[in-house]
Structures are given as C-alpha cells and as structure tokens.
Amino acid sequence: MFHFPVLPEAVKAAISIAWTGYIVVLAVWIVLQKRSPLSTLSWILSMAVLPVLGFVLYYFLGPQRLRRQRLKRLRSHSRLYAKADLDSLRPQAAQAPSHLRQLGQLGLASCDIPVSTASDVRLLVGGAQTFDALFEAIRAARRHVHLEYYIFEPDGIGTALRDLLVQKARQGVKVRLLVDALGSKRLGRRFLAPLRAAGAEVGLFHDTRIGRRLRPVINFRTHRKIVVCDGTLGFTGGLNITDEEDERRRPDAYHDVHLRLQGNAVRWLQTVFLEDWSYATGEHWRRTTQEEFAELLPPSSPGAHPVQIIASGPDNEREAIHRMLVAAIHVARRRVWLTTPYFVPGPPTLMALTNAALRGVDVRVLVPRRSDSAVVSAAARSYFDELIGAGVKVWEYQARMLHSKTMLVDDDCGFIGTANFDNRSFRLNYEICALVYGPALTVALGAQFEHDLRQSQRVSARRRLPFWQRLGDATARLFSPLL
C-alpha cells in the first residue's frame, strides 16, 4: 500500500496562493484580448483545469492581436485609378438597388478596397481547366509573376509549375513566390534551389520554427491563393498547387473552382499580394521608383464588370469577408446558393441563413458528404436539422471531395474565393475573395451549382441517424469555435 507524504500547511498555503495568482494573471491576459465571452471563458477554464497543457495550447493556438503595417504609398498608387473606375460605374450604380450600393460601401469600409472593374471574368472549373489557364498566363508574362499559396506541393503539378517559373526567371521575368510555411511545409531547399538559382525570390509566411518569434503565430496562416501576371491578369479561388486538385493526375481529385480576372480589379489582388510579401519578407518598397510602380500597378481602361476584392485576416478586427457574406445573405430577395467544403456556421451566419429561408428566399447549402476532416463533417451535420427546420435546403456532394467556396445571391452578385464558411476562415486565416456584381459570374455560378446538385443527395428532414452518430456530431459541434 502506498503512503503519500502529507504536505505542511505552509506549503499548501503557498501552492494555493501561487495557483490563485496563476489563474488571476492568465484570466486578465485572456480577458484583455476582448474576444467572445464563450471563447474567453473556455480558454480560462481549460488553463485552470489543465495548467500546463492549457497554457501551452493557448500560447501556440490562443487568440492574439497581430499588427501589420499598411503600405500607404502602395495603396495610394492603387487608388490613382479608382476614380476612373467609379466614374465609369456611375451610370450602372445610379440604376442599381440601394442595397447593392451599400454592400459595396461595406466592403470599402471593412477592408479599404473600393469597387473596381474587370474587362474579363471567367469561372474555371476543376484542376485541368484552372492549371491550363494559369500556365498559359505565366508563359505569356513579360515583366513579373507573383504567386501566393497556402499549399504548394513538390509533386507532379508543383514540379511542373516550378520548372515553368525557373524558365520565366531565366528570361528576365521577375518571379516572387510566397507560400505558407505550414501549408507548404514539404517544400524543401533542394526543391526550391533551382528557383533561387534562376533569380526568383521565395518567401515563407509565418515561419513555424520555434524561436523565430517571441510568441509563435502557428495558428494564423495565409490561406490565400493569388496569382498576378504583369499586373493585369490575376487568379484567385479555391485551388492549391497539388496533384490532389488535378483530375488528370488523380481520379479522386478535389472538385474545385477558380476565377480568372483581367483588368483593373487585378490591381487589388496585386496590392494584397505585395502587402503580404512585405510582411513576410521585410521588403517595404520604400525605394520603388515611379516606373517600377507603373509596372506593378499598370494603368488600364475601366472594364464592363464591377468587381470588389475583399481581404480579411487576424490583423483586421472588422472581419471583412464574414461581414460581406452575412450582409449579402440579409439583402437576398430570391436566392442564396452556398457551396463550401467546411460548414461550421457561427451565430451570425446561422441566423442570416435561417432568416433568409424563413422569409421565403430559396436558400441552398451544398457541402461534401465527407470532407477531409471527420470532425468538421460531424460538426456540419449537427446544424442540418436546424437549417432544414427553417426551410434551408441542404445537399451533400457525393462524387468526390468538394472544395469550392462560392456564394450566389439573386442574380446580383457572386462570391468566389478562399474562405470556408467557418470560424477559422472568418477570424484566424488570411483570406481573399472576389465579389462580382452582375451577370458576369452569377450566370456561370448558377449553372455550375445546378450541375453539382445532380451529383449530390438532398438531406431529408426525416433522416434517422444512429444514436452514436448523433452523439458524435453533437460533440464535434462543441469544438465549432476552434474549427
């Protein structure tokens, strides 16, 4: 039989005082973050119950404020042509409903990017179509190619793209590649050596190595996918650089969509990229000449299609993409068709979707039957009954892993970008999306949505799930604020 030593009363008192002090100090630290009450209380409780593990988790994953310097000179150049765009859009704006004008104003106020224009807008479906268009644009580039990706794999498509970038760099084209240090962790020095030897520059976003920062930022990733060629042709959307997104290489490749933009709106994709590049590499463009700015942000005539680039991240508490999606759902009059691989709605988005359905809007939500995260899939299912009860129609995509991130509102506007419909995308990741006003994108998005429904199964209001699955789904929902 074991006998545990009895601690002296003085030691017990000292431990009690130290414990109380520990809880008070940590509670003050967390409360000063001014996050949601539920999140704040959850972190305080976890660190009280698990003093060592809880502190480590909070240190690495807990909320913190990130400060990034806006490049005022860069943004001032981007705004030089904004007036021409707005002047060209004035006749359309005068005829547009007031709620659309207010939506554009909300985007400007939340991320400081005005409505711009594009001369060409194309929806790209699948890896084959997207990568073909991407490679074609890079081959045609004459001055610079800028790329930013969350995942860039050293596999078949990644190697092919690297070799093309090496070729362009050797031709004198300025190549800058920015990748997320965690998402692209498999990119090693040997893979990147040919790029650097050819004169291309490579940047890592939020290096994950311990000691690189006083407090790690491992929980804050760039989830953006941006490609800009010569400042006039740009791409964004859901596809990463990986064979998992190329159906020519894998029959089970993710089903995804991307957007090709040409015209002045690309200037704002460029601005977001250059600010991310500056933040990650320390290059602040202070010595950039007027001629160099003219190459980075070339002037062009306004296009026919109104486009607004929306960027969000943990350095901006206004949660621009989150706000814009919720606002667009609230003003919908006829339909809201949402496609997302990770569906974990918070109170504002859940309320917006159910309110729209209750007032008679055709609200449809398309999610994968099984995503690449079992916990996220389970959490998503826990919301289905509430959504269906309010009149929302929910479908599960059966064919492959669905990775598209789009939303169609009436015939007025379409969203396409990198943000999932979850807390991580809205609050923790650096994300970007394009909001295209008018039929240039809505027609294509509507047709693609209906095509995807033919490979999906509608979730029945009378579905019967086993007890253990219902319990698992409900348990996964508890982790929704962290997903």
Q: List beta partners, residue 237.
A: 258
Confidence band of 327 (pLDDT split at 50, 70, 90): very high
Confidence band of 289 (pLDDT split at 50, 70, 90): low
Residue with tokens 């704006």, as numbered in its chain: 93
Q: Residue 380: which of 256, 238, 483, 257 has the closest Cα?
A: 483
Out of 405, 412, 422, 452, pick the active-site residue: 405
- Residue 451 annotated among the catalytic residues of the structure: no
SS3 at position 345: coil
Give per-residue pLDDT as tens, 130-156: 999 999 999 999 999 999 999 999 999
Give per-residue pLDDT as tens, 202-218: 999 988 765 555 455 67
Out of 403, 412, 422, 452, pick the active-site residue: 403
- Residue 410 annotated among the catalytic residues of the structure: yes
Rounded Cα distance between 321 and 261, Å, is 19
- Token code pair at residue 232: 């006039």
320-482 has which fold? Endonuclease; Chain A (3.30.870)
SS3 at position 152: strand
- Domain boundaries along the sequence of the chain: 11-59, 72-95+119-304, 320-482
Q: Residue 456: which of 401, 415, 374, 414 has the closest Cα?
A: 401
Q: How confident is the model over 372-393, as a mean pLDDT?
A: 85
Q: Please report, for residues 147, 202, 230, 281, 338, the alpha-carbon distance to residue 176 in angstroms, rounded to integers and kept in the order given.
A: 6, 6, 12, 11, 33
- Residue 405 annotated among the catalytic residues of the structure: yes
Indicate the range of 202-206, 277-281, 375-379, 417-421 predicted with least confidence: 375-379
The whole-number pLDDT of residue 474 equals 65
- Token code pair at residue 360: 């008679």
Q: How many helices (H) and strands (E) does the chain have?
A: 18, 16
- Residue 83 annotated among the catalytic residues of the structure: no
- Residue 252 annotated among the catalytic residues of the structure: no
Indicate the range of 75-89, 372-386, 456-470 predicted with least confidence: 75-89
Out of 410, 422, 452, 473, pick the active-site residue: 410
**Helix spans in 80-125 (H):** 82-95, 98-111
Are 72-95+119-304 and 320-482 in the same CATH fold?
yes
Out of 85, 180, 230, 422, pick the active-site residue: 230
The whole-number pLDDT of residue 388 equals 94
- Token code pair at residue 325: 């999606």
Give per-residue pLDDT as tens, 443-459: 999 999 999 999 999 98
- Residue 168 annotated among the catalytic residues of the structure: no
Is the overall model pTM greater than 0.75, yes or no?
yes
Residue 405: count other Cβ atoms within 10 Å of its Cβ. 24
The whole-number pLDDT of residue 236 equals 98
The whole-number pLDDT of residue 408 equals 97
Out of 146, 223, 255, 258, pick the active-site residue: 223
Please report which helix (H) or strand (E) contains residue 394, including its range. Answer: strand 393-397
Q: How confident is the model over 42-51, as a mean pLDDT?
A: 66
Q: What superfamily would CATH give domain 72-95+119-304?
A: Endonuclease Chain A (3.30.870.10)
Out of 225, 255, 305, 330, pick the active-site residue: 225
